[in-house]
A and B are shown apart, each in its own frame.
Chain A
Amino acid sequence: MRDFNFHRPASVAEAVGLLRKHSGGKFLAGGQSLLPVLKLDMADPSDLISLSGIAELRGIRVEGNTLIIGAGMRHAEVAQSPEVQRTIPGLARLADHIGDAQVRNRGTLGGSLAHADPAADYPAAIVALNGTVQTDRRTIAADDFFTGLFETALRPDEVITAVRFPVPTRCAYAKFGSHASKYALVGVMVAKTADGVRVAVTGAGPYAFRAAALETALGQSFSVAAIEALGENLGVRADDLNNTAEASGAYRKHLIAVLAKRAVAACL
């Protein structure tokens, strides 16, 4: 790993100020993605600005029908939180199956979203649950947050402070993980709310996307049979999906239907 300067600010404002001063710098959250990236020499920041000492990024609370999770909360903390288990148990279960135990003890919600790995689990949750990313300067709707492979709507000096999740009627996440990394080859989150059904797919494309055909079918009949009735007509083309040595586009398309059915079954 190349050398860099290290900073550990105590507030978000200080962190943003440091990044503006050191424009070649990067924010460091739990480091479970960024440190491997640095070891591979795929990034060469002049400065790392750690977010781990910032108290305002911590905490989980419920306000009315909204669950608010601080960006600095680690996956294990989200999984074990009584507030998350009570309001959105499907989200607690998702967090409990990210990576492995050691990764869940370090990785954070904000770090995962900002890194925007195409195979990460949290993106499926925020998109399906119609969450909102709160940053130091604005709010960004989940549908507008992911913009490309490892790309988001965040400005380089913008810090995610919290994520707001509207509490759904039911939701569940099903994934088929890579055996080596536990990253999702495909993961599907299904959320049923008073306003309808949202279905988000991670792992299959450059970033988490909504499956409109599944949403429409499940909106008419929230059942496994509704997905079976779609057959091949999932509204996605195998050729547009990720095609790697681990899984072809056609296989990933097949997994979308299988996992959507498992998620719906888990909701019922």
Chain B
Amino acid sequence: MGAITLKVNGKQVTVDAAPRTLLVELLREPLQLTGTHVGCDTSQCGSCTVLVDGRSIKACTMLAVEAAGTEVTTIEGLAQGGRLHPMQEAFQSCHGLQCGFCTPGMILSAVDCLKQNPTADERDVREWLEGNICRCTGYHNIVKAVLSCRDRMAQSKEG
């Protein structure tokens, strides 16, 4: 066991982890951030998606020791000052979820999508979300939510 120091949701933390600890295990167990889900544990489903230094990655396929010195954002870190992130609001208003299991990963992936491509169209969004599997919604309202968030963010920039 060795101590790892990293920033999680803006707060610096130092935590013990064995080399084989996955980032998702570090987040869920010692750090108790259970909003990051484990769906498949085989890098297929994207439920465990978090942002590392601003980019979406699958936390089941990254060692916790590799996250030393990075900034990690989980679903718990998106809302600011008691206000939901625009992407969270869009998922809520467009009913972009049913059971909610895939939702934290879906939202973080969508945040990275619009950060990389603020003018993403429906095809771009559908392609981007290839790494996130949802078994309930048929994706329709998820894509609608991302596009609605895109429009809202574009408006707030113009405003």
Contacts and interface: CB of A to CB of B under 8 A. Distances in A.
Given A31-B63, A35-B63, A105 B19 contact: no
A1 B42 CA distance: 12
Contacts of A32: 43, 61
Given A2-B20, A181-B44, A99 B65 contact: no
B8 interface: no
B41 A39 contact: yes
B2, B42, B113 pick with most chain A CB within 10 angstroms: B42
A3 B109 contact: no
Contact of A3 (B20, B22, B62): B20
Nearest to B18: A3
A112 B38 CA distance: 25
Interface residues of B, number: 29
A102 B131 contact: yes
A8 interface: yes
A5 B63 CA distance: 12
Given A1-B20, A106-B61, A101 B56 contact: yes
Contact of A6 (B41, B63, B131): B63
B61 A36 contact: yes
Contacts, number: 75
Contacts of A106: 57-58, 61-62
Interface in B38-86: 41-44, 46, 49, 52, 55-58, 61-63, 65-66, 68
B66 A31 contact: yes
A35 B19 CA distance: 12
Contacts of B46: 100, 102
Interface in B83-117: 109, 112-113, 116
A180 interface: yes
A118 B75 CA distance: 36
B139 interface: no
A102 B18 contact: no
26 contacts: A3-B19, A5-B19, A6-B19, A8-B65, A8-B68, A28-B66, A31-B63, A31-B66, A32-B61, A35-B22, A36-B42, A36-B43, A38-B20, A99-B131, A100-B130, A100-B131, A101-B56, A101-B109, A101-B113, A102-B49, A102-B109, A103-B43, A103-B58, A103-B131, A105-B55, A180-B44
Given A6-B63, A31-B63, A106-B61, 5 more contacts: A1-B20, A32-B43, A38-B20, A80-B116, A181-B44
